[in-house]
Amino acid sequence: MDESKRVTIIEELKGGGQKEVFRASHPELGEVVFKKIYPKDDSIERTKREVLAVSLLNSAHIPKIYFHNCEQESPNPLWLIEEYVSGQNLRSIIQGGNKFDITQICDFLEIMLDLTILSEEINLVHRDIKPDNIMLDDHNKIWLLDFGIARHLDLESITDTNSPFGVFTLGYASSEQFRNLKKEIDIRSDLFSIGVVAYELLLGENFYIKDSNNDVFQIIKKLENNSIPAIRINGDAQFQLSAFIRLLGDHRRYRRPRTAILAKEIYLSLKPTLNL
Protein backbone atom coordinates (compact mmCIF):
# COMPACT_ATOMS: atom_id res chain seq x y z
CA MET A 1 0.00 0.00 0.00
CA ASP A 2 1.23 3.50 -0.87
CA GLU A 3 1.14 5.15 2.55
CA SER A 4 1.69 8.59 0.98
CA LYS A 5 -1.84 8.41 -0.42
CA ARG A 6 -3.24 7.89 3.07
CA VAL A 7 -2.03 11.17 4.52
CA THR A 8 -4.17 14.28 4.63
CA ILE A 9 -2.31 17.58 4.47
CA ILE A 10 -3.10 19.99 7.32
CA GLU A 11 -0.62 22.80 6.64
CA GLU A 12 2.69 23.50 4.94
CA LEU A 13 5.56 23.87 7.41
CA LYS A 14 8.33 24.63 4.97
CA GLY A 15 8.59 24.85 1.22
CA GLY A 16 10.93 25.86 -1.54
CA GLY A 17 13.81 24.35 -3.43
CA GLN A 18 13.86 20.58 -3.53
CA LYS A 19 11.75 19.95 -0.45
CA GLU A 20 8.22 20.52 0.78
CA VAL A 21 7.36 19.76 4.42
CA PHE A 22 3.79 19.43 5.71
CA ARG A 23 1.99 18.75 8.94
CA ALA A 24 -0.43 16.00 8.04
CA SER A 25 -2.65 13.32 9.51
CA HIS A 26 -2.50 9.55 9.02
CA PRO A 27 -5.45 7.22 9.79
CA GLU A 28 -3.41 5.05 12.18
CA LEU A 29 -0.52 7.28 13.25
CA GLY A 30 -2.41 10.52 13.87
CA GLU A 31 -0.43 13.70 13.28
CA VAL A 32 2.71 13.20 11.22
CA VAL A 33 5.24 15.15 9.20
CA PHE A 34 5.01 14.48 5.47
CA LYS A 35 8.04 15.39 3.36
CA LYS A 36 8.21 15.49 -0.42
CA ILE A 37 11.67 15.72 -1.98
CA TYR A 38 12.18 16.27 -5.68
CA PRO A 39 15.28 14.35 -6.75
CA LYS A 40 18.32 16.31 -7.84
CA ASP A 41 21.98 15.35 -7.93
CA ASP A 42 22.64 13.15 -4.88
CA SER A 43 19.32 13.68 -3.06
CA ILE A 44 18.13 10.06 -3.42
CA GLU A 45 21.28 8.62 -1.85
CA ARG A 46 21.34 11.27 0.88
CA THR A 47 17.72 10.55 1.74
CA LYS A 48 18.44 6.81 1.90
CA ARG A 49 21.28 7.52 4.31
CA GLU A 50 19.06 9.79 6.40
CA VAL A 51 16.56 6.94 6.78
CA LEU A 52 19.39 4.56 7.66
CA ALA A 53 20.82 6.94 10.27
CA VAL A 54 17.49 7.43 12.04
CA SER A 55 16.84 3.68 12.00
CA LEU A 56 20.24 2.77 13.41
CA LEU A 57 20.18 5.40 16.15
CA ASN A 58 16.63 4.47 17.24
CA SER A 59 16.58 7.20 19.89
CA ALA A 60 13.63 8.59 21.82
CA HIS A 61 15.07 12.04 21.04
CA ILE A 62 14.97 11.61 17.25
CA PRO A 63 11.64 11.56 15.36
CA LYS A 64 10.89 8.16 13.85
CA ILE A 65 10.55 7.67 10.11
CA TYR A 66 7.48 5.47 9.73
CA PHE A 67 7.30 5.06 5.96
CA HIS A 68 9.25 6.12 2.88
CA ASN A 69 9.70 5.24 -0.78
CA CYS A 70 13.50 5.48 -0.93
CA GLU A 71 13.90 1.88 -2.04
CA GLN A 72 11.79 2.35 -5.15
CA GLU A 73 13.61 2.66 -8.45
CA SER A 74 13.98 6.34 -9.39
CA PRO A 75 11.26 7.68 -7.06
CA ASN A 76 9.93 11.11 -8.02
CA PRO A 77 9.09 12.62 -5.68
CA LEU A 78 10.77 10.99 -2.74
CA TRP A 79 8.53 11.06 0.31
CA LEU A 80 8.90 10.39 4.01
CA ILE A 81 6.28 10.05 6.74
CA GLU A 82 7.83 11.00 10.09
CA GLU A 83 6.87 11.37 13.72
CA TYR A 84 5.37 14.79 14.45
CA VAL A 85 6.82 16.82 17.33
CA SER A 86 4.74 19.69 18.67
CA GLY A 87 6.86 22.54 19.99
CA GLN A 88 9.41 25.14 18.89
CA ASN A 89 12.84 24.82 17.38
CA LEU A 90 15.66 26.49 19.27
CA ARG A 91 16.02 29.14 16.58
CA SER A 92 12.51 30.41 17.34
CA ILE A 93 13.25 30.34 21.06
CA ILE A 94 16.43 32.39 20.63
CA GLN A 95 14.75 34.86 18.28
CA GLY A 96 12.01 35.28 20.90
CA GLY A 97 14.64 36.70 23.25
CA ASN A 98 14.73 33.66 25.54
CA LYS A 99 18.00 32.39 27.03
CA PHE A 100 18.71 29.09 28.75
CA ASP A 101 19.61 28.97 32.44
CA ILE A 102 22.14 26.54 33.88
CA THR A 103 19.60 23.75 34.44
CA GLN A 104 18.29 24.01 30.89
CA ILE A 105 21.77 24.12 29.37
CA CYS A 106 22.79 21.04 31.36
CA ASP A 107 19.70 19.18 30.11
CA PHE A 108 20.62 20.22 26.57
CA LEU A 109 24.24 19.10 26.93
CA GLU A 110 23.37 15.75 28.48
CA ILE A 111 20.90 14.85 25.72
CA MET A 112 23.21 15.99 22.95
CA LEU A 113 26.23 14.20 24.41
CA ASP A 114 24.22 11.00 24.75
CA LEU A 115 23.18 11.31 21.10
CA THR A 116 26.80 11.79 20.02
CA ILE A 117 27.75 8.67 21.96
CA LEU A 118 25.09 6.71 20.06
CA SER A 119 26.29 8.26 16.80
CA GLU A 120 29.90 7.38 17.47
CA GLU A 121 28.94 3.76 18.12
CA ILE A 122 27.62 3.47 14.55
CA ASN A 123 30.32 5.66 12.92
CA LEU A 124 27.94 8.52 12.19
CA VAL A 125 28.44 12.30 12.25
CA HIS A 126 25.31 14.48 12.05
CA ARG A 127 27.18 17.48 10.54
CA ASP A 128 24.26 19.89 10.89
CA ILE A 129 23.68 20.48 14.60
CA LYS A 130 22.24 23.98 14.88
CA PRO A 131 19.26 25.67 16.58
CA ASP A 132 17.06 25.16 13.51
CA ASN A 133 17.48 21.38 13.77
CA ILE A 134 16.83 21.02 17.50
CA MET A 135 13.33 21.21 18.97
CA LEU A 136 11.99 21.72 22.45
CA ASP A 137 8.57 20.08 22.53
CA ASP A 138 5.51 21.06 24.56
CA HIS A 139 6.83 18.97 27.47
CA ASN A 140 10.35 20.52 27.34
CA LYS A 141 11.86 17.41 25.76
CA ILE A 142 14.76 17.97 23.35
CA TRP A 143 14.67 16.45 19.86
CA LEU A 144 17.40 16.34 17.21
CA LEU A 145 16.12 16.59 13.63
CA ASP A 146 17.30 16.44 10.02
CA PHE A 147 19.96 13.85 9.28
CA GLY A 148 19.93 14.88 5.61
CA ILE A 149 23.69 15.55 5.42
CA ALA A 150 24.78 13.02 8.05
CA ARG A 151 28.10 11.37 7.25
CA HIS A 152 28.30 7.58 7.58
CA LEU A 153 32.03 7.14 8.12
CA ASP A 154 31.96 3.50 7.04
CA LEU A 155 30.24 4.28 3.72
CA GLU A 156 31.72 5.92 0.64
CA SER A 157 31.47 9.69 0.86
CA ILE A 158 28.93 11.41 -1.38
CA THR A 159 30.66 14.81 -1.37
CA ASP A 160 33.29 15.33 -4.06
CA THR A 161 36.69 14.89 -2.41
CA ASN A 162 38.18 17.56 -4.69
CA SER A 163 35.65 20.19 -3.64
CA PRO A 164 37.24 23.01 -1.58
CA PHE A 165 34.19 23.05 0.68
CA GLY A 166 32.08 20.29 2.16
CA VAL A 167 28.41 20.43 3.09
CA PHE A 168 27.87 22.64 6.14
CA THR A 169 25.96 25.47 7.79
CA LEU A 170 28.12 28.56 8.17
CA GLY A 171 28.75 29.50 11.79
CA TYR A 172 28.08 26.02 13.19
CA ALA A 173 30.44 23.75 11.26
CA SER A 174 34.03 23.17 12.34
CA SER A 175 36.87 24.13 10.02
CA GLU A 176 37.66 20.51 9.17
CA GLN A 177 34.06 20.08 8.03
CA PHE A 178 33.65 23.16 5.87
CA ARG A 179 37.15 22.71 4.45
CA ASN A 180 36.11 19.18 3.37
CA LEU A 181 39.01 17.54 5.20
CA LYS A 182 37.31 14.15 5.13
CA LYS A 183 39.94 12.23 7.07
CA GLU A 184 39.59 14.68 9.96
CA ILE A 185 35.79 14.63 10.19
CA ASP A 186 34.62 12.57 13.15
CA ILE A 187 32.45 13.03 16.23
CA ARG A 188 34.59 16.01 17.24
CA SER A 189 32.92 17.95 14.43
CA ASP A 190 29.54 17.44 16.12
CA LEU A 191 31.00 18.29 19.53
CA PHE A 192 32.15 21.61 18.09
CA SER A 193 28.63 22.38 16.87
CA ILE A 194 27.16 21.49 20.28
CA GLY A 195 29.53 23.95 21.95
CA VAL A 196 28.55 26.70 19.50
CA VAL A 197 24.84 26.09 20.08
CA ALA A 198 25.29 25.97 23.88
CA TYR A 199 26.99 29.38 23.78
CA GLU A 200 24.16 30.76 21.65
CA LEU A 201 21.48 29.40 24.00
CA LEU A 202 23.16 31.10 26.95
CA LEU A 203 23.96 34.47 25.34
CA GLY A 204 21.37 34.68 22.58
CA GLU A 205 23.92 35.09 19.77
CA ASN A 206 26.25 32.96 17.68
CA PHE A 207 29.82 33.86 18.60
CA TYR A 208 31.12 33.32 15.06
CA ILE A 209 28.36 35.22 13.24
CA LYS A 210 27.91 38.23 15.53
CA ASP A 211 29.54 41.48 14.39
CA SER A 212 30.28 39.95 10.98
CA ASN A 213 27.59 41.66 8.89
CA ASN A 214 27.12 38.16 7.46
CA ASP A 215 30.46 38.43 5.66
CA VAL A 216 31.18 34.81 4.74
CA PHE A 217 34.96 35.21 4.60
CA GLN A 218 35.06 37.05 7.91
CA ILE A 219 33.04 34.26 9.57
CA ILE A 220 35.29 31.57 8.07
CA LYS A 221 38.41 33.41 9.25
CA LYS A 222 36.99 33.66 12.76
CA LEU A 223 36.02 29.97 12.76
CA GLU A 224 39.56 28.99 11.79
CA ASN A 225 41.34 31.25 14.27
CA ASN A 226 39.13 31.81 17.31
CA SER A 227 37.45 29.66 19.94
CA ILE A 228 34.36 30.40 22.01
CA PRO A 229 35.38 32.74 24.85
CA ALA A 230 34.79 32.07 28.52
CA ILE A 231 31.33 33.12 29.65
CA ARG A 232 29.75 33.78 33.04
CA ILE A 233 26.90 31.39 33.86
CA ASN A 234 24.80 31.78 37.01
CA GLY A 235 25.37 28.65 39.10
CA ASP A 236 28.81 27.98 37.60
CA ALA A 237 30.89 29.65 40.33
CA GLN A 238 34.07 27.76 39.44
CA PHE A 239 33.67 28.39 35.68
CA GLN A 240 33.85 24.64 35.06
CA LEU A 241 30.81 24.54 32.77
CA SER A 242 32.02 27.60 30.91
CA ALA A 243 35.39 25.94 30.35
CA PHE A 244 33.69 22.76 29.12
CA ILE A 245 31.57 24.62 26.56
CA ARG A 246 34.70 26.41 25.43
CA LEU A 247 36.48 23.05 25.12
CA LEU A 248 33.73 21.69 22.87
CA GLY A 249 33.77 24.83 20.73
CA ASP A 250 37.54 25.01 20.37
CA HIS A 251 38.48 25.81 16.77
CA ARG A 252 41.39 23.39 17.09
CA ARG A 253 40.16 19.87 16.51
CA TYR A 254 42.96 18.29 18.56
CA ARG A 255 41.92 20.28 21.64
CA ARG A 256 38.36 18.95 21.69
CA PRO A 257 37.56 15.66 23.50
CA ARG A 258 38.62 12.91 21.11
CA THR A 259 35.48 10.85 21.73
CA ALA A 260 31.90 11.51 22.75
CA ILE A 261 32.30 9.20 25.74
CA LEU A 262 35.26 11.24 26.96
CA ALA A 263 33.25 14.44 26.54
CA LYS A 264 30.45 12.98 28.66
CA GLU A 265 32.94 11.85 31.32
CA ILE A 266 34.41 15.37 31.53
CA TYR A 267 30.92 16.81 31.84
CA LEU A 268 29.92 14.39 34.61
CA SER A 269 33.14 15.16 36.54
CA LEU A 270 32.32 18.89 36.61
CA LYS A 271 28.59 18.58 37.24
CA PRO A 272 28.96 18.37 41.07
CA THR A 273 30.52 21.86 41.03
CA LEU A 274 27.34 23.36 39.59
CA ASN A 275 24.49 24.91 41.54
CA LEU A 276 21.50 23.34 39.78
Name the residues annotated as catalytic.
128
The answer for residues whose C-beta is within 8 angstroms of residue 166's C-beta and 6 or more apart is 159, 173, 177, 178, 179, 180, 182, 185
Q: Which of 31, 30, 26 is closest to 4 using CA atoms?
A: 26
